[in-house]
Amino acid sequence: GQAYRGQRMPAPTYGSIRDIVKQRIIAVVREVKAADSMKVLILDTPTLKTISAVCRTMEIVEEGVSLLENLERKRQPMPTMQAIYIIHPNEDSIEKVKNDFKSSQESMYAGAHIYLTSHISNDLIYSMRQCNELVQRTKSLKELNFEFVALESQCYSLGLHDAFRTLYSPVTVAKNAMIHTIADRMLTVCVTLGEFPNITYKKPARAEFDVVEKIAKALQVGLSNFDKQIVDGNSWWQPKRSDPATILIVDRSFDALTPLIHEYTYQAMVYDLIEMKDSKYKYKTSNAKGEDVEKVSSLDDSDALWVQLRHMHIADAINF
């Protein structure tokens, strides 16, 4: 059917990486038309981290979303609302979407607009097709290509906290899976930035330490395949071929000392002294009645002073 062509959303190619991801999220919400703002946005845990890093809840609500939900939690049926799913295309998330549309009597939403953070496999497409009610109610299925977290305007994370242990594990299957996961997520960064980069990597001194080389080659294959598919079927993919960016891939052996040295930036000091979580911290203050109240503040790119100070040496920041 039309809904299962795996269409790809055009990638804005201006602004910082945070701006581009935010623009795409807002574009998704605006794309779904619903009367009287009857739209619910449903996210899985990985996507929630991606979106919360660049968008405030109020910014999404202002675009006509009346409810934000976590895909992994129990939710109340909203049979008159259009559901916008922004999810990672894995088996668990797809099964939860299918469970929302078990039958015409048990469907939780009037329609489903499904946006995936990366390429969906043929097996998962087939699985979705087996859910007749989901097929009937799916209005769109598109790939967004942002399988990463934009932490700052020029800094992102692939969110693979166990990568170091896995890449240097003797378990070959787990290692190869991690190599391809890293390459796939780096591919979404390139697509988001509109880049078909030159890939450079540090050649391993010994054959058994070829992790970086394998990641570089997997990324090159992924870029070439993506480019061919898009050129054959779409016109929006127009990377900068005349003056491409360069990706330099190195492993920890390239710089083994940095993890052992404490940073002396203002940002490092804040994280040492204040309990921070997802760039937010809680503190207590007094209100007009003299009562203690707890507040939450964000230290991110929306705070101009934080952007100026965060990478300064502590001494410079104090004297700013």
What does the pLDDT look like over 133-174, one tens digit per residue? 999 999 999 989 899 999 998 899 999 989 988 998 888 889
Q: Output the pLDDT for position 276.
A: 85
213 vs 206: CA distance, rounded Å: 11
Q: What amino acid occupies position 67?
A: L
With beta carbons less than 8 A apart as the criterion, state whether 174 and 219 touch.
no
Q: Output the pLDDT for position 231.
A: 57
As a whole number of Å, the end-to-end CA separation of the chain is 60
Question: Who's near 103: CB < 8 A, 6+ residues apart?
Answer: 133
Question: Rounded to the nearest 5 degrees, what angle is found at the Cα of 44, between the Cα atoms of 86 and 196?
Answer: 50
Q: Output the pLDDT for position 105.
A: 84
Q: Output the pLDDT for position 37.
A: 56
Tokens 């050129």 found at? 231
Q: Output the pLDDT for position 74.
A: 92
Question: Who's near 24: CB < 8 A, 6+ residues apart?
Answer: 9, 11, 12, 144, 146, 192
Angle 211-233/172-193 helices, nearest 10 degrees? Answer: 50
| pLDDT-flagged residues of the chain (< 50) | 1-5
Question: Rounded to the nearest 5 degrees, what angle is found at the Cα of 123, between the Cα atoms of 122 and 124?
Answer: 90
Tokens at 267, concatenated? 């940002």
Tokens at 165, concatenated? 């242990």
Tokens at 129, concatenated? 């097709």
